[in-house]
A and B are shown apart, each in its own frame.
Chain A
Amino acid sequence: MRAPGRLRFAGRYVTRWAVDTAGVLLALSAGTFALVLLARGDPAAILAATRAGRSATPEQIEAVRAELGLDAPAPVRYVRWLADASTGDFGLSLRTNTPVGPEIADRMGVTLGLVAGSAAVALVAGVAVGVAGAVLGRGPVRGALRGGALLATSVPAFWLSYLLVLVLALRLGLVPTSGMAGPATWVMPMAVLGLPAAGALSRVVAVTLREALDQPYVLAAQARGSGPVSIVLRDGLPNAAGPILSLAGVTVGSLLVGTVVVEQIFGWPGLGAYFVHAAAARDVPALQAAALALGGGFILANRLADVLQALIDPRSLRDAGGTGPRAAGRGRRPSRRGGTGPREEAT
């Protein structure tokens, strides 16, 4: 398996990954669409009522039903909905009678900015605290870091924001209580979203890094005279990267979902707040669009983490190739690999 072979496996892996991801996204879209079927109440009636101002006549409802194509069988409606959705057309909001697509696009920027900011907080703080937790010996510093991390993951975001509002905004007057105007207003939402994520991340970093540092190859590196910094950077972190990356993916994804709460509390005009309003009003088209956007982002973040993880580890690529001779190694002693067998005798 020379370099070109490795590239080939990487290519094959990425292709498979792309197909898989498309599959999951399709499943998500089907699930989102199925929300209509789960819905209590008739969307046509709701929209007709919105348009008419008060309750609508049966004729008006039937007209809306025909307009929305709700009389077709579910699979047909799904295909139509998916085709429309792929062009950005998610239909009309049942609540406001305005197109959902442009609204989603407008709000996306706000949410992505918030997620990017809090992801930075989470990754920097999480990895730093985690590495410290893995390398430090048992003692008060490590205990405090660990306890703090655990506490950060346990505090509900909405309550944490209350506490921050009480202290930072009302008592100290450092930042405004809500709204989105200027850097000061970003502090609290980013902290509320980022800190719990940092706590979760730091715990995984600490555990996996410590595990990676407990492996015999670290002893071997010490035996050939490598220093602790080199060992952490070359042997520890890369080998711990798998779980860390996949959690980082989950973290970024869950930040997206977390915007649902945080935007609501701080009054930000983002996707999360839109989602909550849609859910509260049972505005199915808006709900579908927001769920697809947030869910799609979540899934992409996760899947990206997976592919990164696989590209780091040369072993996973070979398994993806499907021709790994590792399966042959049933016995205690690892079997030699096909192509290099004769070399053993040649020496």
Chain B
Amino acid sequence: MTQGHRRWGLPATVRTTLVALPLIVFAIAGVLAPVLAPADPTANDLAAGLLPPSADHLLGTDQLGRDQLSRILYGARISLAVTAAVLAISLAAGVVIGTVAGYLGGRVDRVISRLIDMAVSLPGMLVALAVIGVRGPGVENLVIALSLWAWAPYARIARARVAGLRGSPHLDALRLLGAGPVRVIGRHLLPPALAPCLVYASTDVGAIVLSVATLSFLGLGIPPPHAEWGQMLIEGRPYLASAWWLAYPPGIAITAVVFAGNLLGERLAGGDERPSILRWVRPARRPRHSIAPRPAPAGSPATSAAPAASAEDDVVLRVRDLSAGYPHGGGLRRVVAGVSYEVRRGRVLAIVGETGSGKTTSALAPFGLVDPGAVVTGSATLGGGAGALELMGRTPPERHRVNGRRVGVVFQDSLAALNPLRTVGAHVDEAVRNAGRGGRRAATRRVSEELLRLAGLPDPAVIAREFPHQLSGGMRQRVQIAIALAGEPELLVADEPTSALDVTVQAQLLDLLGRLRDELAMAMVVVSHDVAVISRLADSVAVMYAGRIVETGPLATVIGNPDHPYTRGLLDAVPRPGAAPGTRFRTMPGRSGAGPDDTGGCAFAPRCPIAVAACADDRPVLEAASTVAHRSACLRHPGGTALQPGTARERDRL
């Protein structure tokens, strides 16, 4: 995106206009042909036949001595007239028919849809040829012949759009508010149905111009002596080799208009694209953009989420000063900044935060499982002691030796994370082979079934033959766990593993994860937005806000004696079992959504009830709160007993 801007140096709207330029010229030429044309396009002058381009005839003359430029201009006029007529008819008919079908639904919809399907599956050119074949050439017949099939795509687009909207809560709400069908269709269904139709129309302009030219070329479109591009080509055919000016201009005119229509349609429909997920991600070198406005002292204990390691060999993953960002407006917009955490064998670290806090990126970035456009810096070491492996700056093939072997990942949306076209067994088999535990097909499948059983799925041989959509959400999540376990990993990373599930299923899955941790002595990083959920599983917690860890420590300490005001706020929002009905929650003012670099000081300061002036300027670092293991990034440290009494007074004074 940024590179595109730099290369062209033009804003998007100007570029779109440039793309559409041939269409604009086409329209102007068509409308103003009588004014612009230097000569009568049908005036023969046999004495001046086949003249090459000159000052008198800018594009030369044809075999009958007619001025080529004038004929091209008049050709635009007639193409434009036919195109406009066909578009108007088919757009109007298509949108109305499609909207009616989509709105009414039921039997009417089925009949109309079938009709649309048939019309779309008819070969348009053939219909046009056949109709003209029996009715004879001429502008009127041409319009009829082209409109007969051109309406169908519009009807299909409009129907799909309206049918999709029909059941939406938005329309339900309107009905409840008393809106009648006229208002619903006119105000809320037609406009959204029209928009994609107009996008399609820009492509259709090219298609129609091409059809008109082709039909005329075949002698079945615009009859002579009217000038038409396709017809000019067929008339000039005998002289092509000698008179190049007869061969090129009409062809170029057609191609330019059609090309512009196609390109414009693609631009309007596509929008900006993201880099492909498969793109070869080069290990991050020093990025061109200044990345850290305020580099934290490397290895300083103040930035780490856990105290300096005592038993080195026990640490499974150690992340230091992890930052991740995306190119944005010429610079880099960070979503995660200076995050450090570590997790030990048989322990579960929960990363907790709200939407957009950077928790998922923090957990997945060490393994390269982020958007390929992301720039990730920092360090992440897998394993302790001699087997330690730096994960940052790895090439994709090197990652394949880590992902799926030493690390297993469970994603949030189990339906999206499994390939819908492959059976569950095929997924697990692939994971087993990737982990180097595969053999012959049957042997691989035996391992897969064992894994499915381990993930608590009964009857694994049957489950393995099912497709993802045939399983419930809880079962799919177990399948993901089985896949993650294929490499007998040291570390399991789970991103919101239970969030879309019913509470009873959720409880079972949490129990399963807990059991796996105990039995396999795996380390786990669990990402969640729900403090209550992870309290069943986690040993320690890291709370994230605006891309940074604001508080971390043992679960019981953080929940029981939170230090950071954001952690407090988060805990206040969790419903309490003993509260009387109607008890209000204590809430935090304002809304989250800031990035790590949006403020110079503490990102939470604008919402913080105990913030002081310094909070807006000085960025707090993680430092010991109640115990060594319990750290919090707050200048005030309200959890510290010494500070507590003074809090209110200091605040009043300010």
Q: What CA separation (Å) do A291 and B409 show in the bound complex?
A: 57
The reply to whether A336 and B473 contact each other, CB–CB distance below 8 Å, is yes
The reply to whether B129 and A226 contact each other, CB–CB distance below 8 Å, is no
Report A-chain residues with C-beta under 8 Å of the C-beta of B397. 227
The reply to whether B123 and A225 contact each other, CB–CB distance below 8 Å, is no
Using a CB-CB cutoff of 8 Å, which residues 448-476 of chain B contact chain A? Answer: 456-459, 462, 465-467, 469-475
In chain A, what residue has the closest Cβ to B133?
A279
Specify which of A138, A217, A230 is in contact with B418 (CB 8 Å cutoff). Answer: A217
The reply to whether A228 and B396 contact each other, CB–CB distance below 8 Å, is yes
With A275-B129, A298-B126 given, is the CB distance from A224 to B409 under 8 Å?
yes
With A224-B486, A225-B487, A333-B502 given, is the CB distance from A166 to B277 under 8 Å?
no
Report B-chain residues with C-beta under 8 Å of the C-beta of A284. 134
The reply to whether B254 and A232 contact each other, CB–CB distance below 8 Å, is no
> What is the number of residues of chain A that contact chain B, defined by CB distance less than 8 Å?
99
Nearest Cβ on chain A to B22's Cβ, whole angstroms:
10
Cβ-based interface call for A183 (8 A): no
Chain B interface mostly: helix
The reply to whether A214 and B121 contact each other, CB–CB distance below 8 Å, is no
Interface string of B416-437 (1 = CB under 8 A from A): 1111111000000011001100
The reply to whether A159 and B126 contact each other, CB–CB distance below 8 Å, is no
The reply to whether B121 and A303 contact each other, CB–CB distance below 8 Å, is yes
The reply to whether B472 and A261 contact each other, CB–CB distance below 8 Å, is no
With A159-B254, A234-B422, A287-B133 given, is the CB distance from A224 to B275 under 8 Å?
no
Report A-chain residues with C-beta under 8 Å of the C-beta of B258. 153-156
In chain A, what residue has the closest Cβ to B473?
A334
Specify which of A156, A207, A213, A343 is in contact with B255 (CB 8 Å cutoff). Answer: A156
Partner-binding segment picked from A97-105, A111-119, A308-316: A308-316
Nearest Cβ on chain B to A184's Cβ, whole angstroms:
19
The reply to whether A257 and B130 contact each other, CB–CB distance below 8 Å, is no
Nearest Cβ on chain A to B122's Cβ, whole angstroms:
7
Cβ-based interface call for A247 (8 A): no
The reply to whether B474 and A344 contact each other, CB–CB distance below 8 Å, is yes
Partner-binding segment picked from A27-35, A59-67, A81-89: A27-35
Report A-chain residues with C-beta under 8 Å of the C-beta of B240. 162, 165-166
The reply to whether B278 and A218 contact each other, CB–CB distance below 8 Å, is yes
Among B233, B419, B502, max chain A CB count under 10 A is at B419
Interface string of A305-347 (1 = CB under 8 A from B): 0000000111100100000001000001111110011011011
Cβ-based interface call for B230 (8 A): yes
The reply to whether B505 and A344 contact each other, CB–CB distance below 8 Å, is yes
Report B-chain residues with C-beta under 8 Å of the C-beta of A162. 233, 237, 240, 247, 251
Nearest Cβ on chain A to B260's Cβ, whole angstroms:
8
Using a CB-CB cutoff of 8 Å, which residues 107-130 of chain A contact chain B? Answer: none
**With contacts defined as CB atoms under 8 Å apart, how many contacts are there between chain A and chain B in the complex?**
288
Report A-chain residues with C-beta under 8 Å of the C-beta of B604. none
In chain B, what residue has the closest Cβ to A216?
B416
Specify which of A24, A222, A235, A278 is in contact with B419 (CB 8 Å cutoff). Answer: A235
In chain B, what residue has the closest Cβ to A275?
B129
The reply to whether A225 and B278 contact each other, CB–CB distance below 8 Å, is no
With A38-B134, A234-B430 given, is the CB distance from A261 to B123 under 8 Å?
no
In chain A, what residue has the closest Cβ to B367?
A223
In chain B, what residue has the closest Cβ to A279?
B133
Report A-chain residues with C-beta under 8 Å of the C-beta of B486. 224
With A210-B273, A282-B134, A298-B123 given, is the CB distance from A276 to B218 under 8 Å?
yes
The reply to whether B484 and A280 contact each other, CB–CB distance below 8 Å, is no
Specify which of A166, A214, A254, A282 is in contact with B123 (CB 8 Å cutoff). Answer: A254
Nearest Cβ on chain A to B515's Cβ, whole angstroms:
11
Report A-chain residues with C-beta under 8 Å of the C-beta of B435. 224-225
Nearest Cβ on chain A to B81's Cβ, whole angstroms:
19
Q: What CA separation (Å) do A175 and B277 show in the bound complex?
A: 45
The reply to whether B218 and A337 contact each other, CB–CB distance below 8 Å, is no
Cβ-based interface call for A256 (8 A): yes
The reply to whether A234 and B419 contact each other, CB–CB distance below 8 Å, is yes
Cβ-based interface call for B358 (8 A): no
Report B-chain residues with C-beta under 8 Å of the C-beta of A225. 399-405, 431, 434-435, 487
Interface string of B369-404 (1 = CB under 8 A from A): 100000000000000000000000000110111111
Q: What CA separation (Å) do A155 and B554 show in the bound complex?
A: 68
Interface string of A143-157 (1 = CB under 8 A from B): 000000011011111
With A223-B367, A340-B472 given, is the CB distance from A3 to B465 under 8 Å?
yes
Report B-chain residues with C-beta under 8 Å of the C-beta of A256. 123
Cβ-based interface call for B125 (8 A): yes
Interface string of A207-243 (1 = CB under 8 A from B): 1001001111111111111111011101110110000
The reply to whether A299 and B121 contact each other, CB–CB distance below 8 Å, is yes
**Beyond the given A155-B251, A162-B233, A213-B276, could you list 10 further A-B residue pairs with CB under 8 A, ordered by the A residue number?**
A203-B266, A257-B123, A282-B133, A282-B134, A291-B130, A303-B121, A313-B420, A336-B471, A336-B475, A343-B457
Task: List 4 tightest A-B contacts by C-beta distance, closest first.
Answer: A225-B404, A279-B133, A336-B472, A159-B251
Chosen A-B contacts, 26 in total, with CB atoms closer than 8 Å, are A1-B466, A2-B462, A24-B118, A38-B131, A155-B251, A166-B241, A210-B273, A217-B419, A218-B277, A220-B409, A220-B411, A222-B368, A222-B399, A223-B367, A223-B408, A224-B430, A225-B402, A225-B404, A226-B434, A234-B422, A257-B126, A260-B126, A275-B126, A287-B130, A299-B121, A312-B421
Chain A residues at the B interface, C-beta cutoff of 8 Å: 1-3, 24, 27-28, 31-32, 35-36, 38-40, 134-135, 137-138, 150-151, 153-159, 162-163, 165-166, 170, 203, 207, 210, 213-228, 230-232, 234-236, 238-239, 253-254, 256-258, 260-261, 264, 275-276, 278-280, 282, 284, 287, 291, 294-295, 298-299, 302-303, 312-315, 318, 326, 332-337, 340-341, 343-344, 346-347
